[in-house]
Structure 1
Amino acid sequence: MEIEWIESQFFSTEKISNEMIIIHHTGSHNGKINSLQGTISWFKPDEWRSSRQVSAQYIIAREERPIIQMVQDEHTAWHAGRSQWEINGVLCHNLNNRSIGIELQGDGQLFPYTKFQYEALIWLVKQKMEQFNIPIELIRGHEEITSRKPDPGPYFDWERFKKGLTSVTVPGPTDDDGDGIIWLDENEKVKIPSGKDRSILEVIIDFFAGLFK
Protein backbone atom coordinates (compact mmCIF):
# COMPACT_ATOMS: atom_id res chain seq x y z
CA MET A 1 0.00 0.00 0.00
CA GLU A 2 1.33 3.43 -0.94
CA ILE A 3 0.81 6.86 0.63
CA GLU A 4 0.86 10.11 -1.35
CA TRP A 5 1.70 13.33 0.49
CA ILE A 6 -0.35 16.48 -0.25
CA GLU A 7 -0.02 19.05 2.53
CA SER A 8 -3.07 20.89 3.88
CA GLN A 9 -2.78 24.43 5.22
CA PHE A 10 -5.26 23.64 7.98
CA PHE A 11 -3.46 22.15 10.97
CA SER A 12 -1.59 23.11 14.11
CA THR A 13 1.73 21.83 15.38
CA GLU A 14 0.49 21.55 18.97
CA LYS A 15 -0.70 18.06 19.86
CA ILE A 16 -1.14 16.13 23.09
CA SER A 17 -0.82 12.60 21.69
CA ASN A 18 -2.27 10.06 19.27
CA GLU A 19 -4.62 8.09 21.51
CA MET A 20 -7.55 7.59 19.12
CA ILE A 21 -8.37 7.00 15.47
CA ILE A 22 -11.55 8.63 14.19
CA ILE A 23 -13.20 7.48 10.96
CA HIS A 24 -15.16 9.91 8.76
CA HIS A 25 -16.80 10.03 5.35
CA THR A 26 -16.41 12.83 2.82
CA GLY A 27 -20.16 13.05 2.17
CA SER A 28 -22.27 13.65 -0.90
CA HIS A 29 -24.28 16.36 -2.65
CA ASN A 30 -27.64 15.75 -4.32
CA GLY A 31 -27.10 12.01 -4.09
CA LYS A 32 -23.65 12.13 -5.72
CA ILE A 33 -20.54 11.25 -3.73
CA ASN A 34 -18.11 14.13 -3.32
CA SER A 35 -15.11 13.64 -5.58
CA LEU A 36 -11.66 12.82 -4.28
CA GLN A 37 -10.22 15.95 -5.89
CA GLY A 38 -13.01 18.02 -4.39
CA THR A 39 -12.14 16.77 -0.91
CA ILE A 40 -8.43 17.41 -1.45
CA SER A 41 -9.24 20.94 -2.63
CA TRP A 42 -11.46 21.50 0.41
CA PHE A 43 -8.56 20.58 2.70
CA LYS A 44 -6.05 22.44 0.51
CA PRO A 45 -7.79 25.37 -1.22
CA ASP A 46 -6.03 27.48 -3.83
CA GLU A 47 -6.82 30.55 -1.75
CA TRP A 48 -6.76 30.82 2.05
CA ARG A 49 -10.16 30.96 3.72
CA SER A 50 -10.76 32.17 7.25
CA SER A 51 -13.82 30.01 7.94
CA ARG A 52 -14.68 26.31 7.65
CA GLN A 53 -11.06 25.30 7.99
CA VAL A 54 -11.08 21.51 8.05
CA SER A 55 -8.60 18.73 7.38
CA ALA A 56 -7.75 15.14 8.23
CA GLN A 57 -4.56 13.15 8.29
CA TYR A 58 -5.67 10.68 5.60
CA ILE A 59 -8.15 10.24 2.75
CA ILE A 60 -8.95 6.84 1.23
CA ALA A 61 -10.46 6.93 -2.26
CA ARG A 62 -13.15 4.55 -3.48
CA GLU A 63 -10.98 3.22 -6.30
CA GLU A 64 -7.57 1.63 -5.90
CA ARG A 65 -4.89 4.31 -5.68
CA PRO A 66 -2.39 5.56 -3.05
CA ILE A 67 -3.80 6.72 0.28
CA ILE A 68 -3.63 10.52 0.52
CA GLN A 69 -1.93 12.01 3.59
CA MET A 70 -2.52 15.73 4.17
CA VAL A 71 -1.43 16.31 7.79
CA GLN A 72 1.45 14.73 9.67
CA ASP A 73 0.43 12.29 12.41
CA GLU A 74 2.37 14.40 14.92
CA HIS A 75 0.33 17.50 14.05
CA THR A 76 -3.29 18.30 14.85
CA ALA A 77 -5.72 18.03 11.94
CA TRP A 78 -9.09 19.75 12.26
CA HIS A 79 -11.56 16.93 11.77
CA ALA A 80 -13.33 16.10 15.04
CA GLY A 81 -14.79 19.49 15.97
CA ARG A 82 -16.71 19.70 19.24
CA SER A 83 -16.30 16.17 20.50
CA GLN A 84 -15.73 14.03 23.56
CA TRP A 85 -14.78 10.49 24.51
CA GLU A 86 -13.47 8.67 27.55
CA ILE A 87 -9.76 7.87 27.28
CA ASN A 88 -8.11 5.86 30.04
CA GLY A 89 -10.98 6.62 32.40
CA VAL A 90 -10.96 10.38 31.74
CA LEU A 91 -13.62 12.19 29.70
CA CYS A 92 -11.64 14.16 27.12
CA HIS A 93 -12.89 17.01 24.93
CA ASN A 94 -11.64 18.52 21.66
CA LEU A 95 -10.34 15.24 20.32
CA ASN A 96 -8.48 16.79 17.40
CA ASN A 97 -5.30 16.98 19.47
CA ARG A 98 -5.63 13.39 20.68
CA SER A 99 -6.45 11.60 17.45
CA ILE A 100 -5.73 10.70 13.85
CA GLY A 101 -8.55 11.43 11.40
CA ILE A 102 -9.21 9.18 8.40
CA GLU A 103 -11.68 10.20 5.68
CA LEU A 104 -13.35 7.59 3.47
CA GLN A 105 -14.52 8.98 0.14
CA GLY A 106 -18.23 8.27 0.17
CA ASP A 107 -21.44 8.76 2.08
CA GLY A 108 -22.14 5.98 4.53
CA GLN A 109 -25.75 7.05 4.88
CA LEU A 110 -26.43 6.33 1.20
CA PHE A 111 -23.80 4.01 -0.26
CA PRO A 112 -21.69 1.00 0.79
CA TYR A 113 -17.93 1.43 0.92
CA THR A 114 -15.71 -0.44 -1.52
CA LYS A 115 -13.58 -3.54 -1.02
CA PHE A 116 -10.46 -1.48 -1.64
CA GLN A 117 -11.46 1.03 1.04
CA TYR A 118 -11.79 -1.70 3.67
CA GLU A 119 -8.45 -3.20 2.66
CA ALA A 120 -6.68 0.17 2.72
CA LEU A 121 -8.34 1.25 5.96
CA ILE A 122 -7.45 -2.00 7.73
CA TRP A 123 -3.86 -1.76 6.52
CA LEU A 124 -3.52 1.88 7.61
CA VAL A 125 -5.20 1.48 10.98
CA LYS A 126 -3.08 -1.56 11.80
CA GLN A 127 0.04 0.53 11.15
CA LYS A 128 -1.16 3.32 13.43
CA MET A 129 -2.33 0.97 16.19
CA GLU A 130 1.15 -0.52 16.34
CA GLN A 131 3.00 2.77 15.93
CA PHE A 132 1.10 4.64 18.65
CA ASN A 133 -0.13 1.73 20.79
CA ILE A 134 -3.79 2.56 20.12
CA PRO A 135 -6.26 -0.08 21.40
CA ILE A 136 -9.14 -1.22 19.21
CA GLU A 137 -11.59 0.29 21.72
CA LEU A 138 -10.34 3.77 20.80
CA ILE A 139 -11.03 3.43 17.08
CA ARG A 140 -14.34 5.25 16.67
CA GLY A 141 -16.64 6.79 14.12
CA HIS A 142 -17.25 10.53 14.02
CA GLU A 143 -20.89 9.86 14.88
CA GLU A 144 -19.83 8.31 18.19
CA ILE A 145 -17.86 11.28 19.50
CA THR A 146 -20.42 13.97 18.66
CA SER A 147 -24.17 14.12 18.11
CA ARG A 148 -23.68 16.58 15.24
CA LYS A 149 -22.29 14.17 12.65
CA PRO A 150 -23.61 10.96 11.02
CA ASP A 151 -20.41 9.45 9.63
CA PRO A 152 -19.15 6.95 8.70
CA GLY A 153 -22.82 5.97 8.70
CA PRO A 154 -24.91 2.78 8.71
CA TYR A 155 -23.30 1.46 5.52
CA PHE A 156 -19.93 1.21 7.24
CA ASP A 157 -19.44 -2.45 8.19
CA TRP A 158 -17.84 -2.29 11.62
CA GLU A 159 -17.84 -6.09 11.98
CA ARG A 160 -15.94 -6.54 8.71
CA PHE A 161 -13.50 -3.78 9.66
CA LYS A 162 -12.74 -5.08 13.16
CA LYS A 163 -12.48 -8.64 11.88
CA GLY A 164 -9.79 -7.42 9.49
CA LEU A 165 -7.91 -5.72 12.32
CA THR A 166 -7.68 -9.00 14.24
CA SER A 167 -6.72 -11.18 11.27
CA VAL A 168 -3.43 -13.05 11.06
CA THR A 169 -1.37 -13.04 7.88
CA VAL A 170 0.37 -16.37 7.23
CA PRO A 171 2.03 -17.98 4.19
CA GLY A 172 1.42 -21.40 2.75
CA PRO A 173 -1.44 -23.89 2.40
CA THR A 174 -3.68 -22.35 5.08
CA ASP A 175 -4.53 -19.51 2.71
CA ASP A 176 -7.52 -21.07 0.93
CA ASP A 177 -8.53 -18.05 -1.16
CA GLY A 178 -5.03 -16.80 -1.94
CA ASP A 179 -5.28 -13.44 -0.19
CA GLY A 180 -2.67 -14.25 2.45
CA ILE A 181 -5.10 -13.81 5.34
CA ILE A 182 -6.76 -16.20 7.77
CA TRP A 183 -9.99 -14.71 9.12
CA LEU A 184 -10.40 -15.75 12.73
CA ASP A 185 -13.95 -16.37 13.86
CA GLU A 186 -15.10 -18.53 16.73
CA ASN A 187 -17.86 -19.98 14.52
CA GLU A 188 -15.52 -20.99 11.71
CA LYS A 189 -12.90 -23.71 11.51
CA VAL A 190 -9.42 -22.62 10.50
CA LYS A 191 -7.14 -25.12 8.78
CA ILE A 192 -3.73 -25.37 10.39
CA PRO A 193 -0.75 -26.95 8.64
CA SER A 194 0.74 -30.03 10.22
CA GLY A 195 4.27 -30.35 11.55
CA LYS A 196 6.50 -27.67 13.02
CA ASP A 197 4.32 -24.70 11.98
CA ARG A 198 1.26 -26.10 13.72
CA SER A 199 2.21 -25.18 17.28
CA ILE A 200 3.19 -21.63 16.32
CA LEU A 201 -0.09 -20.97 14.54
CA GLU A 202 -2.14 -22.56 17.30
CA VAL A 203 -0.74 -20.07 19.78
CA ILE A 204 -1.58 -17.16 17.47
CA ILE A 205 -5.07 -18.45 16.71
CA ASP A 206 -5.87 -19.15 20.37
CA PHE A 207 -4.87 -15.59 21.25
CA PHE A 208 -7.01 -13.91 18.59
CA ALA A 209 -9.92 -16.31 18.98
CA GLY A 210 -10.11 -15.22 22.60
CA LEU A 211 -10.91 -11.70 21.44
CA PHE A 212 -14.25 -12.91 20.08
CA LYS A 213 -15.41 -14.61 23.30
Structure 2
Amino acid sequence: MQTTNVREELCKYARKIVAKGMVVGPGGNISARDGDTMLVSPSGFALEEIEPEQWVAVSIQDGTIDAPPGLRASSEVLMHLYGYQVNPSIGAMVHTHPAYSIAFGLIGEDLPIMFPDQAALTGKTGFIPYVIPTTELLAHAVKEKINTYTTLLLGNHGLVTVGRNLREAYYRTEVVEESARIYLLAKAAGTPKVLTEQELEDIRALETEAYRIKLLQQQK
Protein backbone atom coordinates (compact mmCIF):
# COMPACT_ATOMS: atom_id res chain seq x y z
CA MET A 1 0.00 0.00 0.00
CA GLN A 2 1.39 3.42 -0.93
CA THR A 3 1.99 6.18 1.62
CA THR A 4 -0.97 8.35 0.53
CA ASN A 5 -3.39 5.47 1.03
CA VAL A 6 -1.88 4.57 4.42
CA ARG A 7 -2.31 8.16 5.59
CA GLU A 8 -5.93 8.20 4.46
CA GLU A 9 -6.59 4.87 6.19
CA LEU A 10 -5.09 6.24 9.39
CA CYS A 11 -7.44 9.23 9.25
CA LYS A 12 -10.40 6.95 8.60
CA TYR A 13 -9.76 4.71 11.60
CA ALA A 14 -8.74 7.60 13.84
CA ARG A 15 -12.21 9.05 13.29
CA LYS A 16 -13.87 5.68 13.87
CA ILE A 17 -12.07 5.41 17.21
CA VAL A 18 -13.36 8.80 18.31
CA ALA A 19 -16.87 8.14 17.01
CA LYS A 20 -17.01 4.94 19.08
CA GLY A 21 -15.90 6.79 22.23
CA MET A 22 -12.67 4.82 22.56
CA VAL A 23 -10.71 7.96 23.46
CA VAL A 24 -11.45 11.35 24.98
CA GLY A 25 -9.82 14.60 23.84
CA PRO A 26 -6.20 14.18 22.71
CA GLY A 27 -5.94 10.68 24.19
CA GLY A 28 -4.77 7.57 22.39
CA ASN A 29 -2.45 7.06 19.44
CA ILE A 30 -2.38 4.83 16.36
CA SER A 31 0.12 3.83 13.71
CA ALA A 32 0.49 1.79 10.54
CA ARG A 33 3.39 0.22 8.70
CA ASP A 34 4.30 1.65 5.29
CA GLY A 35 7.18 -0.41 3.97
CA ASP A 36 10.22 0.22 6.18
CA THR A 37 8.48 3.18 7.84
CA MET A 38 5.75 3.51 10.41
CA LEU A 39 3.34 6.42 10.33
CA VAL A 40 2.21 7.45 13.82
CA SER A 41 -0.15 10.09 15.15
CA PRO A 42 1.38 13.45 16.07
CA SER A 43 1.55 14.44 19.74
CA GLY A 44 -1.12 16.70 21.22
CA PHE A 45 -3.80 16.11 18.58
CA ALA A 46 -7.28 14.73 19.08
CA LEU A 47 -7.33 11.79 16.68
CA GLU A 48 -10.22 13.12 14.60
CA GLU A 49 -8.32 16.35 13.92
CA ILE A 50 -5.33 14.76 12.19
CA GLU A 51 -5.01 15.45 8.47
CA PRO A 52 -3.27 13.00 6.09
CA GLU A 53 -0.11 15.07 5.80
CA GLN A 54 0.29 15.36 9.59
CA TRP A 55 1.07 11.72 10.37
CA VAL A 56 4.69 11.42 11.52
CA ALA A 57 7.06 9.08 9.65
CA VAL A 58 9.47 6.98 11.72
CA SER A 59 12.12 4.59 10.40
CA ILE A 60 11.35 1.13 11.77
CA GLN A 61 14.99 0.13 11.49
CA ASP A 62 16.64 2.90 13.49
CA GLY A 63 13.84 5.09 14.89
CA THR A 64 14.76 8.19 12.89
CA ILE A 65 11.80 10.59 13.01
CA ASP A 66 10.71 12.71 10.05
CA ALA A 67 7.98 14.98 11.43
CA PRO A 68 6.16 17.73 9.53
CA PRO A 69 7.29 21.25 10.57
CA GLY A 70 6.10 22.17 14.06
CA LEU A 71 4.92 18.64 14.91
CA ARG A 72 6.37 15.80 16.93
CA ALA A 73 5.61 12.09 17.12
CA SER A 74 3.19 10.71 19.70
CA SER A 75 4.62 10.49 23.21
CA GLU A 76 4.07 6.70 22.91
CA VAL A 77 6.23 6.48 19.78
CA LEU A 78 8.61 3.95 21.35
CA MET A 79 5.76 1.59 22.20
CA HIS A 80 4.72 1.54 18.55
CA LEU A 81 8.28 1.37 17.22
CA TYR A 82 9.35 -1.55 19.40
CA GLY A 83 6.23 -3.46 18.36
CA TYR A 84 7.07 -3.21 14.66
CA GLN A 85 10.71 -4.01 15.28
CA VAL A 86 10.06 -7.20 17.22
CA ASN A 87 7.11 -8.50 15.18
CA PRO A 88 7.32 -8.04 11.38
CA SER A 89 3.77 -9.37 10.94
CA ILE A 90 2.32 -6.29 12.64
CA GLY A 91 0.87 -3.88 10.09
CA ALA A 92 -0.92 -1.54 12.50
CA MET A 93 -1.16 -0.71 16.20
CA VAL A 94 -4.08 0.96 17.97
CA HIS A 95 -3.76 2.37 21.50
CA THR A 96 -7.00 3.62 23.05
CA HIS A 97 -8.55 4.41 26.43
CA PRO A 98 -11.92 2.57 26.31
CA ALA A 99 -13.98 2.91 29.50
CA TYR A 100 -14.98 -0.73 30.02
CA SER A 101 -11.51 -2.03 29.24
CA ILE A 102 -9.98 0.36 31.75
CA ALA A 103 -12.66 -0.53 34.31
CA PHE A 104 -11.97 -4.24 33.91
CA GLY A 105 -8.24 -3.63 34.32
CA LEU A 106 -8.91 -2.00 37.69
CA ILE A 107 -10.43 -5.19 39.12
CA GLY A 108 -8.89 -8.06 37.17
CA GLU A 109 -6.13 -9.20 34.87
CA ASP A 110 -7.47 -12.27 33.06
CA LEU A 111 -10.32 -11.30 30.71
CA PRO A 112 -12.23 -14.57 30.10
CA ILE A 113 -13.27 -15.63 26.63
CA MET A 114 -17.06 -15.67 26.68
CA PHE A 115 -18.43 -15.55 23.14
CA PRO A 116 -17.50 -16.59 19.57
CA ASP A 117 -16.30 -13.25 18.17
CA GLN A 118 -13.90 -12.87 21.06
CA ALA A 119 -12.60 -16.42 20.61
CA ALA A 120 -12.09 -16.06 16.87
CA LEU A 121 -10.89 -12.46 16.50
CA THR A 122 -8.78 -11.78 19.58
CA GLY A 123 -8.22 -14.93 21.59
CA LYS A 124 -6.68 -14.44 25.01
CA THR A 125 -5.94 -10.85 25.94
CA GLY A 126 -2.68 -10.17 27.72
CA PHE A 127 -2.29 -7.89 30.74
CA ILE A 128 0.44 -5.45 31.73
CA PRO A 129 0.26 -4.05 35.29
CA TYR A 130 0.42 -0.27 35.50
CA VAL A 131 3.57 1.28 34.05
CA ILE A 132 4.08 5.03 33.73
CA PRO A 133 2.71 6.05 30.30
CA THR A 134 4.97 7.39 27.52
CA THR A 135 8.07 5.80 29.07
CA GLU A 136 10.57 3.32 27.67
CA LEU A 137 9.53 1.02 30.53
CA LEU A 138 6.04 0.75 29.02
CA ALA A 139 7.45 0.33 25.51
CA HIS A 140 9.59 -2.60 26.72
CA ALA A 141 6.66 -4.16 28.61
CA VAL A 142 4.55 -4.13 25.43
CA LYS A 143 7.48 -5.39 23.36
CA GLU A 144 7.87 -8.41 25.63
CA LYS A 145 4.27 -9.55 25.06
CA ILE A 146 3.41 -8.41 21.54
CA ASN A 147 4.59 -11.68 19.97
CA THR A 148 2.25 -13.65 22.24
CA TYR A 149 -0.92 -11.51 22.23
CA THR A 150 -2.69 -9.41 19.63
CA THR A 151 -4.50 -7.48 22.38
CA LEU A 152 -3.06 -6.12 25.62
CA LEU A 153 -4.84 -4.49 28.54
CA LEU A 154 -2.68 -1.86 30.24
CA GLY A 155 -3.58 -1.68 33.92
CA ASN A 156 -4.98 1.73 34.98
CA HIS A 157 -4.33 2.99 31.47
CA GLY A 158 -6.00 1.51 28.40
CA LEU A 159 -5.78 -1.01 25.60
CA VAL A 160 -3.30 -1.86 22.84
CA THR A 161 -4.27 -3.96 19.83
CA VAL A 162 -2.32 -4.98 16.74
CA GLY A 163 -3.26 -6.46 13.38
CA ARG A 164 -1.95 -7.14 9.95
CA ASN A 165 -3.71 -3.94 8.93
CA LEU A 166 -5.63 -1.09 10.53
CA ARG A 167 -8.97 -2.77 9.98
CA GLU A 168 -7.97 -5.86 11.93
CA ALA A 169 -6.34 -3.88 14.75
CA TYR A 170 -9.36 -1.57 15.02
CA TYR A 171 -11.95 -4.37 15.18
CA ARG A 172 -9.91 -6.15 17.82
CA THR A 173 -10.23 -2.97 19.87
CA GLU A 174 -14.00 -3.09 19.49
CA VAL A 175 -14.15 -6.77 20.43
CA VAL A 176 -12.04 -6.39 23.58
CA GLU A 177 -14.07 -3.39 24.71
CA GLU A 178 -17.32 -5.30 24.14
CA SER A 179 -15.86 -8.29 26.00
CA ALA A 180 -14.99 -6.13 29.01
CA ARG A 181 -18.47 -4.59 28.95
CA ILE A 182 -20.18 -7.97 28.82
CA TYR A 183 -18.02 -9.33 31.62
CA LEU A 184 -18.73 -6.40 33.92
CA LEU A 185 -22.47 -6.59 33.22
CA ALA A 186 -22.56 -10.34 33.82
CA LYS A 187 -20.40 -10.09 36.94
CA ALA A 188 -22.79 -7.54 38.42
CA ALA A 189 -25.64 -10.05 38.06
CA GLY A 190 -23.85 -13.28 38.95
CA THR A 191 -21.02 -15.54 37.82
CA PRO A 192 -20.16 -15.19 34.11
CA LYS A 193 -20.19 -18.41 32.07
CA VAL A 194 -16.94 -18.66 30.14
CA LEU A 195 -16.18 -20.89 27.17
CA THR A 196 -14.31 -24.12 27.79
CA GLU A 197 -11.11 -25.02 25.94
CA GLN A 198 -13.06 -27.50 23.79
CA GLU A 199 -15.65 -24.88 22.93
CA LEU A 200 -12.86 -22.48 21.95
CA GLU A 201 -11.27 -25.09 19.69
CA ASP A 202 -14.63 -25.82 18.08
CA ILE A 203 -15.08 -22.12 17.25
CA ARG A 204 -11.58 -21.75 15.84
CA ALA A 205 -12.17 -24.76 13.61
CA LEU A 206 -15.26 -23.27 11.96
CA GLU A 207 -14.80 -22.49 8.27
CA THR A 208 -17.06 -19.45 8.65
CA GLU A 209 -14.73 -17.94 11.26
CA ALA A 210 -11.69 -18.51 9.06
CA TYR A 211 -13.51 -16.72 6.25
CA ARG A 212 -14.36 -13.74 8.45
CA ILE A 213 -10.78 -13.45 9.66
CA LYS A 214 -9.55 -13.54 6.05
CA LEU A 215 -11.90 -10.66 5.22
CA LEU A 216 -10.63 -8.62 8.17
CA GLN A 217 -7.11 -8.92 6.85
CA GLN A 218 -8.17 -7.18 3.64
CA GLN A 219 -7.87 -3.43 4.07
CA LYS A 220 -11.01 -1.45 3.27
The structure carrying a bigger helix percent of its residues is 2
Q: Same fold (TM over 0.5)?
A: no
Greater relative contact order, per chain length (Cα 8 Å cut-off, separation 6+): 1
Question: TM-score, normalization: structure 2?
Answer: 0.28
